Amino acid sequence: MDIGSYAVKLVSFTEEKKQIRLSGWGYIPLSIKADIPPEERKAIIGEEIRNYLKKKGIQAKHAATSISGNAVIVRYVKLPKLAKKELALTLNVEAEPFIPFDIKDVNLTYSILGDVTEEGQPKMETVLVAAKKEAVMDKIDILNEAGLEPVIVDVDSFALETLYGKIAPQQDANAVLVLNIGHKVTNLSIISQGVTRVVRDIFIAGSTFEKAVQKALKADAPGAGAEAVRRSKGLLYSDEEKAAAIAAFDKEGIAVSKAAGGILKDLYTEVSRSIDFYLSQGMEHSISKILLSGGIANLGNIAKFMSGDFKVPVEVADPFSFLPEHGAVPKEVLPALAVASGLALRKMKDWE
């Protein structure tokens, strides 16, 4: 259950004889006024989910969800080598220097990637994850309102790692960059040899595109930017497309392309910084491919546009590509279901 600011995305899998099948999916747009109190907002979203599950006949008891943005911090650090029991007892003390929140206000967890030696001292390469308790409880409250039992709260980027491990079981020799362009946040992950090495949330996302388009069109109506993006055929990439748009006096198409292209340039700058950081860590594997997901991944020619900037292949993710069949899931919805699919792939043993 990927509970976003613009929509709720849900995916349910079943497994029979080691074969995973799609048993349910959903894309539930949210139209909630900005001034609605938080508790009322959670109740509305929970009811929307409950009604959708009932309408579609999706029978589920347990649910996994995830968080991202300012509410969560992921840090890759080297800690003194300790036994797991010792680390569990001293985790707050060891982690506090790396976490910019009050340690009392967060849920803290970790994963050990491996042993390393630094300045002759044995250490553990560790991923620390700190999530604000309030943000975690908000997601749990929504699931409870929907009549579901919350069993795990993941991080969007790690859900994408889980998905990538399924859709690309033969890991690339090089690294893959995954960009999930949501409504408010773009989740960036760099996955090398099956392990996420860089996690970052960038606040250039779907709403940024919509605001830029609305400004370019000089439209005042709420949602005008989003509607123009939906109507648009996408970015004008080739000279032929640009010439055809000019010949057809397609002022809206030209404005959408120009505005969206400008935002993609800003996104390119931010993503490039993350790639530079990744390479500065002495990583041996360069970026060989970019995988796009999220609603904006449907913007026409976005993969070509970004491939031209980054000089590597760019693909739009199909989160159900590993399934034998997935029925009539609309193509334009598929990229938005990436995080929810990664969450649905988690096993019960992960939290038992």
The CATH architecture that domain 71-132 belongs to is 2-Layer Sandwich (3.30)
Residues 243-284 have pLDDT tens digits of 998 998 888 888 889 999 999 999 999 999 999 999 998 777
At residue 172 the predicted structure's pLDDT band, cuts being 50, 70 and 90, is: low
Side chain identity at 104, as an amino acid letter? Answer: K
- Let me know: does 29 contact 4? Beta carbons within 8 Å: no
Query: Could you tell me the fold of the domain covering 170-321?
Result: Nucleotidyltransferase; domain 5 (3.30.420)
Ranges in the chain annotated CATH 3.30.420.40: 170-321
Stated pTM of the model: 0.91
Q: Taking residues 330-349, what's their average pLDDT?
A: 91
Q: Taking residues 5-34, what's their average pLDDT?
A: 90
Ranges in the chain annotated CATH 3.30.1490.300: 71-132
Size of the chain, expressed as the number of residues it contains = 352
Residues 102-114 have pLDDT tens digits of 889 999 988 888 8
